[in-house]
Structure 1
Amino acid sequence: MRFIRTLHGDIHPEELGITYSHEHIVCRPPYWVEQGADDLLLDDKEKSKQDVIDFKNLGGQAIVDATAVDYGRDVIAVKEIAEETGVTIIGTAGFNKSFLWDAKLPQKVKEVVGNYNTYYEWIDSTSINTLADFVIKEIEEGLEGTGIRGGQVKFGTGYNRISPLEEKTLRAVARAHHETKAPMHSHTEAGTMGLEQVELLKSEGVNLEYISFGHMDRNPDPFYHRKMAETGALLSFDGISKIKYAPESTRINCILELVKNGYEDQILISGDTARKSYYKHYDYGLGLENILLKWVPRFIEDANARGFDGEKLIDKFFIENPARCFTFKK
C-alpha cells in the first residue's frame, strides 16, 4: 500500500505533480513572536495565498509545508489555502531545533500535550516514547488535535552540535516513523551535523532511503554531499533564491556534481521561504514563483551546456523524487 498523506486526504504518489519540497506558508513561531521579529512571522493568510496562486499559475501542483509544532504553524489556514487554490499541501509532524524551545508553549498546544510552560520544559520532562506517541497521533489522528493529518515527520539539530534534547526528539521521531511508516525530514542548521544524525538514525534502525535532509546547500561541500548521498537518503537543496548564502552557480555546481556521480534520484529542490521579505505579496520579495519562473530555466540552460539533460533532471527533482520521497510505504 503506497500513498501520500496531504492536508485534504491521502492521494496516489502519481497525483502529486510538480512539488516544492520545503516551504512555510502561514506560521507565527512563538520564539520569534517573543523576540518581536516581525519578518519571520508569516501571519497573513491572504498574502500567503497569493504567493501560492503565483506558484500554481506557473504549473506548480504541490507544496510540502515543513512547519512543525514548535514553529507556530496555522494548520487551519494552510488547509484553507490548499482548498481555495487547489494546490496540494503536505503537513509536518515532529519538531524543529532546540533554540526555539525557550519559547512559551501556546495554549492550543498545552491543550494537547499538557500544562507545561515552555517547549523546553515539555520535551525535557517527557519520555522519548511519549514524545513519539505525540508525533504518531499527529500523523494518524491530526495535527494539534485538528483532525488534519500530517504527511511527514521531522526533527532538527543545531549548528555544529546536537543537544541532548535534539537527540531525544530525533529518537522520538524515528520511532514514530517506524510506527506510522511516514517519510522523515531532517532540519540541519546551516547544513551541518548530517552525518552525525545518520549515525543516530542508524542506531534507531531507520532505513535512510526514507528520509530527506534539509538545507544541504547551506553547506556547499561536494565531498559532504557525496557522503550523505551514499547513505541512500535524499538531499534537499532548499535555499534556492537566497543569494546571501551563496550564488546560484554554487548550488547548481553542487547539484550537478551529485548528478555526475549518479545521485540524481536523491535530489529535492525548494526555497524554504520563511520570511515576509522573501514573499512577493508580503514585502516585494522574489516569492514562491521565483524557482519555477527564473531558477528552473537557468538550471536547464546551465545543465544542458555541460552535457546533461536539464529538462529530464527538472522532472526528477520536482516530480519523480518528491513522489517517491513523500510516500508512506506500508
Structure 2
Amino acid sequence: MSYIRTFFGDIKPEELGFTYSHEHIVCTPSFWQEKGEDDLLLDDKEKSQLDVQDFKNLGGKTIVDATAVDYGRHVSEVAEISKETGVQIVGTAGFNKSFLWTGKMKPELKQLVGNYETYYDWIEAASISELTEFVVREVEEGLEGTSFKAGQVKFGTGYNRITPLEEKTIRAVARAHHETKAPVHSHTEAGTMALEQIEILKEEGVPLEYLSIGHMDRNLDPYYHEQVAKTGAFLSFDGIAKIKYAPESARIAAILNLVQKGYEDQILVSGDTARKTYYKHYDFGPGLEYIKKKWVPRFTHEANQNGFDGESLIQKFFVDNPARCFTFKK
C-alpha cells in the first residue's frame, strides 16, 4: 500500500497535485531570535497564509513544509493555514544542522523530551535509539504532541563537514525511516556533503530512492550532481528566485544538464522561502507565487528552445516526481 501523509490524513499519491517540495510557512527559530535576525522569523500567520493562498489561486495543491523541530515550528498555525486555504501540507519530523542547536529549546518541547536548555544539550545527551523514538512518534502520532503527523523525516549537516552529533541524527532518522517507511529529506549546507550523507545512509541500509537531497542548486557543479543522481536519490533545486546565490540561467542549465543525462525523474523544484524578504505579503518579495507564475513559464520556454518538452518536464518536477518522492511504501 502506498500513500502520502498530510496534516489532515493520508492521501493517494495521485491526489498530491502541483507541489512545492521544500518551503517554510510559519517558523521562529530560537537561534535566529536570540541573534535578533528578524528577517528569518516567519512570525505572522495571516501574512504567511496570504502567500499560501496566492499559490492556491495559481493551481498549487500541496506544500512540503520542511521545518524541523529545531527550526521553531508553529504546527497548529500551519495546520490552520492548510484548513483555511485547502492547500495540503506535508510536515517534517527530524532535525536540521548543528549550529542551530545552540538555540534555546521551547518550553512545550521540554515536556516531551526532557528539561534540556538547548537542542544541542538534548541531542548530545540522548541515545540514537531515543532520538529515533522521538522521530517515529512525530510520524505516527503527531508533531510536538499535536495530532498533525509528519510526512517525511529529515536530517542536516553543515558546510563541508559532518559533526559527530549530526551523524548521530542521520542514523536516528535512518532508523526512524525503517520503522515508519517515511521518505527521507536531507539539508546540505551550500550543497555540500551529499555524497558523505549517502554513505552513512547506505551503512544504515536506507534505499536511496526514498531520499531527497536539499539545496543542490547551491552547488552548481554538473559532475557533482551526476554523482548524486547515480545513487538514485532525488535532487532538490529549491533556491528558485535567490539570485544572490546564482542566476536562474545557471539553475536551469544545471537542471537541463541532468535531464540530458536521463535523470529527469529525480528532480524536485521549490523555493525554500524562509525569510520575510522572500515573501510577498511580509516584505514585498517574490513570494510563493513566483515559481508557478514566473519561473515555470521561463523554464518551459528555455527547455523547449533547447529541444526538450518543457511542459512534460514541469509535470515531472512538480507533480509526478513529488508523488513518488513523498510516498510511504509499506
TM-score range for the pair, normalised by the shorter chain length: over 0.9
Match for residue 189 of structure 1?
189
Name the counterpart of 1:85.
85
Deviation per CA, 1:221-258: give whole Å up to 9, x if none. Answer: 00000000000000000000000000000000000000
Match of 2:231 in 1: 231
Q: Which residue of 2 aligns with 1:14?
A: 14
- Give the C-alpha shift of residue 262 in structure 1: 0.3
Measured in 2, the distance between the counterparts of 1:226 and 1:114 equals 43
Percent identity, aligned pairs only?
A: 73
| 1:107 matched residue in structure 2 | 107
> How do residues 135-284 of structure 1 correspond to structure 2 at under 5 angstroms?
135-284=135-284
In 1, the alpha carbon distance for the partners of 2:126 and 2:167 equals: 13
SS in 1 for 2:150: coil
Work out the CA distance in 1 between the residues paired with 2:236 and 2:329.
Answer: 20
Give the whole-Å Cα distance in 2 for the aligned partners of 1:142 and 1:58: 30
CA deviations over 1:76-111 (Å, ceiling 9, x no partner): 000000000000010000000000000111101101
1:291 aligns with 2:291: yes
Which residue of structure 2 lines up, in the alignment, with residue 134 of structure 1? 134
Give the AA of the match of 1:260: Q
CA displacement at 1:167 relative to structure 2 = 0.2
1:24 Cα deviation after fit: 0.1
Output the amino acid matched with 1:163. T
In the superposition, the TM-score normalised over structure 2's length comes to 1.00
Query: What is the DSSP-based 3-state SS (H/G/I as helix, E as strand, rest coil) of the residue aligned with 1:5?
Result: strand
Read off the aligned partner of 1:176 and give its amino acid letter.
Answer: A
Amino acid at match of 2:91: G
Distance 1:313 1:104 in 2: 43
Q: CA RMSD in A?
A: 0.4
The SS at the match of 2:236 is: strand
What does residue 58 of structure 2 align with? 58
| Code of the aligned partner of 2:241 | S
Q: Tell me what 1:323 maps to.
A: 323
Q: Does 1:95 align with 2:95?
A: yes
Tell me the SS of whatever aligns to 1:151: strand
Once residues 126 and 29 of structure 2 are traced to their aligned partners in structure 1, the CA distance between those partners, rounded to angstroms, is 22
What is the distance in 1 between the residues matched to 2:203 and 2:7? Answer: 31
Aligned to 1:27: 27
* Cα distance in 2, alignment partners of residues 74 and 100 from structure 1: 17
Q: Give the distance between the partners of 1:88 and 1:143, measured in 2 at CA.
A: 16
Return the letter of the residue paired with 2:191: G
* Cα shift at 1:147: 1.6
- The SS at the match of 1:311 is helix
Give 1:41 deviation, angstroms: 0.3
Moved over 2 A (4+): none
For residues 146 and 94 of structure 1, the distance between their equivalents in structure 2, rounded to whole angstroms, comes to 15
For residues 49 and 253 of structure 2, the distance between their equivalents in structure 1, rounded to whole angstroms, comes to: 32
Q: TM-score, structure 1 length as denominator? A: 1.00
State the one-letter code of the partner of 1:21: S
